[in-house]
Structure 1
Amino acid sequence: MTRMNMTTARARLDGTLRAVCVALSALLVLLVTWQVFTRLVLGAPSAWSEEAARQTFVWVSLIGIAIAVGEKADVIMDFLVAKLPVPAQRITDIIAYLATLAFVLYVMVFGGIQQSMLAWGQRNPLLPLTQGQLYLALPISGALLTIYLIIHIVGTFSSRYAGHVENDEDLEAAAL
């Protein structure tokens, strides 16, 4: 695949995930609003909307994590790594990405698939889905994280790898 095709595919994936997150966030707001309305106005809380909101929150959170990792906006403490020479930064990044990838593959993808399979036949008493279907959030988000981590690993081997830039955003924001 050419670089242009990879860039286009990445942009489409990013845009799709953002749109899914926005839609799920809107659904979450509607579900919580309905829950509050039924509890406070009607005096009869809606049990299904509470469960649906909880599951929607899980999906939004896990997909949001994938987006953050894709944008390298996840939480990292790179003040020490930024002080290293660029070749050492490259090695540090590769080790960090590989360790994260191992965790994601083992816990989220492999473990998530196992959990989904174990719970596939368990009916959810409040929603028209099985627990296994709801647990698919874990392996799906794990697969998305895997894609982004592989992109980052490939990027560290690129000749355009510039390393970490020491940048204190808090100081910049305070100066404004």
Structure 2
Amino acid sequence: MTNLRLIIDKILSTTLIIIMGIMVINVLWQVFSRYIIGNPSPFTDELARYLMIWVGVLGAAYVSGKNMHVAIDLIPSRSSEKTQKQLKVIVNVLVIIFCLFALVIGGFRLVYISYELGQQSAALQIPLALVYSILPISGLLIVFYKISNLLNK
């Protein structure tokens, strides 16, 4: 499972770098087209918004996999080593449950409903189901990372 985790880490970090690069180029184009050319590009605002959503949600999965997320460690820092391990198991299980219900199941429902309704973005005219698809993908990644954490403890 460690090799698979390393492969997923690499793919995820590369994807995040590419998305950030596209977002920077997109915003620079928006500034250039608005202030230099005087004719703002109609799609850049929407594209930047969707790329920011993807970076945020995929970034959360990446940070979760690296165990670098924000945590309040008041109780664990004052507990014994055995209690700390038990708390980590409880937290990982709670995160798995939350991600399964909120991101995976809820995300798949959102993608399905958006697809069935044929919703399109205003400027880019891409299916919103594509934009929302990052929710279940990210949820599955977080669940994978947390199960990996539980198996490696």
Band the TM-score falls in, shorter-chain normalisation:
over 0.9
Pairwise mapping of residues 15-94 of structure 1 onto structure 2 (< 5 A)?
15-94=10-89
Which of 90, 95, 98 is the aligned partner of 2:93?
98
Q: Deviation string for 1:144-167 (max 9, x for gaps)?
A: 1111111112233xxxxxxxxxxx
- Alignment equivalent of 1:140, drawn from 137, 140, 153: 137
The alignment-based identity, stated in percent, is 29
User: What amino acid does structure 1 have at the position aligned with 2:123?
Assistant: L
* 1:154 equivalent in alignment to 2:151: yes
Question: TM-score w.r.t. structure 1 length?
Answer: 0.81
Where has structure 1 moved over 3 Å in runs of 4 or more? none
Cα separation, 2, equivalents of 1:38 and 1:107: 39
Structure 1 unaligned spans of 5+ = 1-5, 157-176
Partner secondary structure for residue 127 of structure 1? coil
Q: Which has the higher contact order (CA 8 A, sep 6+)?
A: 2
Cα distance between partner residues in 1 of 2:120 and 2:13: 30
Query: Given the superposition, is the C-alpha separation of residues 54 and 118 from structure 1 closer, same or farther in structure 2, using an over 3 Å criterion?
Result: same
Cα distance in 2 for residues equivalent to 1:125 and 1:72: 37
Greater share of helix residues, 1 or 2? 2
Bigger Rg, which one: 1
Task: Quote the Cα distance in structure 1 between the aligned partners of 2:125 and 2:141.
Answer: 26
Separation in structure 2 between the aligned mates of residue 47 and residue 149 of structure 1, nearest angstrom: 41
* Number of residue pairs the alignment of both structures matches: 151
| Distance in 2 of aligned mates of 1:87 and 1:155 | 16
Normalised by the length of structure 2, the TM-score is 0.93
Q: CA RMSD in A?
A: 1.2
Deviation at 1:10, TM superposition (A): 1.2
Q: Structure 2: 5+ residue runs without aligned partners?
A: none
Distance 2:125 2:144 in 1: 31
